[in-house]
Amino acid sequence: MPKETQPSEVPLLAGLEAVAGLISLTAGIAPWIGPWLGQVGAATMTALSTLYFTLSWALWAGKAWARKPALILSIIGVLCSFLILFPDMPVTILSIVTNSILIYYLTRPNVKNFYRKSRN
């Protein structure tokens, strides 16, 4: 069975997932953005960034298993960002926007079909 043609949204998804990883990494290691996180929070954000980067690669490569974890992580990202929303936190707003766009594109029918059909 020939592999499905990659939808035009897939590079955007992979790029946005990488941006989400950069946001998490920045919040985890940059003291001027995430000092309120503490050591456990910083370690969690750094670990999340690794997950985001892994999902970015998997989305780009068309791995069937990547869509659902990316969608779940984006939903959690939006919810958590709303919980810690501060007026002085442009990174939080960027996180909400990035994750919302990811949710939108991950739920598009052609993207869902692409990841459903790519069983690798």
Is 3 part of any domain? no
Is 4 part of any domain? no
Output Rg (C-alpha) for the chain, integer angstroms.
Answer: 15
pLDDT at 2: 45
Please determine, for residue 113, whether its predicted confidence score (pLDDT) is greater than 70.
yes
**Average pLDDT along the chain:** 81
Please determine, for residue 119, whether its predicted confidence score (pLDDT) is greater than 60.
no
Quote the domain boundaries for residue 89.
Answer: 9-117
Task: Tell me the pLDDT band of 4, cut-offs 50, 70 and 90.
Answer: low
Tokens of 72: 């779940």
Is 2 part of any domain? no
Please determine, for residue 79, whether its predicted confidence score (pLDDT) is greater than 80.
yes
Please determine, for residue 46, whether its predicted confidence score (pLDDT) is greater than 90.
no
HEC per residue, 29-80: HCCCCCHHHHHHHHHHHHHHHHHHHHHHHHHHHCCHHHHHHHHHHHHHHHHH
Q: Return the SS3 of 84.
A: coil
Is 16 part of any domain? yes
Please determine, for residue 13, whether its predicted confidence score (pLDDT) is greater than 50.
yes
What is the mean pLDDT of the segment spanning 58-69? 92
Q: Which residue has the tokens 């068309």?
A: 62
The answer to whether 96 touches 81, Cβ cutoff 8 Å, is yes
Number of compact structural domains in the chain: 1
pLDDT at 90: 74
**Percentage of residues of the chain with pLDDT beyond 70:** 83
